[in-house]
Amino acid sequence: MGKTKTQPLTAATSDKHWLYERSVQNPEAEIDFIDHVFASEYDRKPELLREDFCGTAFLSCEWVAHRAGNSALGVDLDGPTLDYGREHHLSKLGDRAERVTLVQDDVRAVQSPKADVLAATNFSWWGFHTRTALLEYMVNCRASLRDEGMLMLDIYGGPEAQVPQFEERECEGFTYVWDQDVFNPITHEYQCKIHFHFPDGSEMNNAFEYDWRLWMIPEVRDLLLEAGFHKVDVYWEGADEDGEPDGEFVVSEEGDTSPAWVAYIVAFR
């Protein structure tokens, strides 16, 4: 269900996946990033992308639409969410739809076909709460990659990440509300939610709820090396002349002390 010119969005007329894709996801930017990082390392373009925790497979479908020869494997536990992707994204790919395979399974249980790139975005891998569980996932990722292959994880942090707070952002026709509900400084247990508010005053609360651990870059790097990856780079976001994030990510060993940041961790097989 989407926005029309005559009918403003309301909680009753909106679909949570439609809202999520427009407020949270940016597959074009991720595809550019993946192409750039992979080509920098291997001097060619990647073809098979595996999207872990793929949800509606928005990235997988954009990947296949992006370049002839591309194919994608999306893995997610949730059947209805995958069905939404089949109905709204695969259906628009025409002949290329056969280049997208969706698997309903645990990401730790899938190892083939082996991919050039494995992407786990929007912090979904934070669902693994223990070192043992995250390491098991990383070992499986490595086993799921071709010899020339990379794993891309996004991560966020900074002092503001550890403060229970609401953050509102205006989107076209609705307001996205990020709710950092619970943070435990000892365990890093982290519960977050997404709500959507509408111009008529209606609200879609708890549209998405996450039970996460807030992982830190050094411990994630250590685990990736322990899992056998031979190189782990951190891509840090640059800033424009006003000091605002500019969407350009470059390899860094220093970062900066922004109150809140998003970065990519890229591990090469």
Ligand X SMILES: C[S@@+](CC[C@H](N)C(=O)[O-])C[C@H]1O[C@@H](n2cnc3c(N)ncnc32)[C@H](O)[C@@H]1O
Chain residues binding ligand X by CB under 6 A are 24-25, 53-55, 75-78, 81, 106-107, 121-122, 124, 127
Tell me if residue 111 falls in helix, strand or coil.
coil
* Residue 262 beta carbon to ligand X: minimum distance, rounded to whole angstroms: 13
* Residue 65 beta carbon to ligand X: minimum distance, rounded to whole angstroms: 17
Compute the Cα dihedral for 98, 109, 214, 148 and give only its sign: negative
CB-nearer residue toward ligand X: 135 or 148: 135
Query: Beta strand pairing status for 165-171 and 145-157?
Result: unpaired
* Nearest residue to 194 via CA among 9, 22, 26, 77: 22
Q: Hey, what are 206's tokens?
A: 């708890």
User: Which DSSP letter does residue 2 get?
Assistant: -
C-alpha span between 87 and 57 (Å, rounded): 11
Number of helices (H), then strands (E), belonging to the chain: the values are 6, 12
CB-nearer residue toward ligand X: 125 or 183: 125
* Residue 257 beta carbon to ligand X: minimum distance, rounded to whole angstroms: 27
* Residue 119 beta carbon to ligand X: minimum distance, rounded to whole angstroms: 8
C-alpha span between 149 and 130 (Å, rounded): 25
CB-nearer residue toward ligand X: 103 or 217: 103
CB-nearer residue toward ligand X: 11 or 207: 207
CB-nearer residue toward ligand X: 10 or 193: 193
* Residue 123 beta carbon to ligand X: minimum distance, rounded to whole angstroms: 7
* Residue 16 beta carbon to ligand X: minimum distance, rounded to whole angstroms: 11
89: amino acid identity, one letter: H
Which residue of this chain has its Cβ atom nearest to ligand X in the complex?
Answer: 55
Name the residue with tokens 């890093």: 188
CB-nearer residue toward ligand X: 109 or 163: 109
Q: Hey, what are 17's tokens?
A: 């996946």
User: Which DSSP letter does residue 257 get?
Assistant: -
